Structure 1
Amino acid sequence: MAEKKDQSDARADPELLRQLDKVAATAEPVEAMFILRRPEGAALTPAETERLTSQVLQRIQREGKSEVKEVNLFKNLGSFVVAAEPSLIRLLLEQPEIESGTANRQPHSVDLLGNPDRPTT
């Protein structure tokens, strides 16, 4: 189990891990962007991105006995953003289809709608 956690932590950026640790005892959602693992030497098609994302999300929701709050799929980029409980984000990081995970909200990020310095989780 520790080895699996080490592997999934290696896929996550430090800010995402910090946010997950901070809200671990709560059900407060964390926003994270995930990049899907590509077949060697090829990009995922939009249809493959949609299919893989759907499969992975269904699996982790079933395993985690919870649902993601929001999903935003970037079909042409082979990635997606979710807002979900920390336990589901950690489950996503463990999935073989996931290449990496990054905190969607970074410290001192600019809100393009004009809100200064959104707080991170």
Structure 2
Amino acid sequence: MRSGGSALSWRRWWRSAGFAWAGLVYSYRVQANFRIEVWAGVLALGLAVFLRAPLAPIGLACALVLSLELLNTALEALVDLASPGLHPLARVAKDAAAGAVLVASLGALLVGVTVLGPPLLALVR
């Protein structure tokens, strides 16, 4: 489907933003992991605000995990559409996408411990 109008059109931008929002809403409703990751991100950002720790690394780590989870959801849907039956390559595609989310989640955990750990320890002491 061709998009109508100028690339700088507000109407076109709002239409595109609507499609993106629909993808976010779908993923939140259907994917339990996405919901968990959203709330873990909210908790991490809230803790960063409370501890007066830098928000940028926490926000970027959260955005990376959530973005990869959305891509994982999209890839799973495409694989299911293209290969409704069991196929070894379909499994590889799904597992690799899930692995990308896992790697990003472990990286986000490392960022969280590094950025939030020292101020949290100082508060406890």
Q: TM-score, normalised by structure 1?
A: 0.29
Structure showing the higher strand proportion among its residues: 1
Structure with the bigger percentage of helix: 2
User: Which has more radius of gyration?
Assistant: 2
- Structure with larger RCO (C-alpha < 8 A, sep 6+): 1
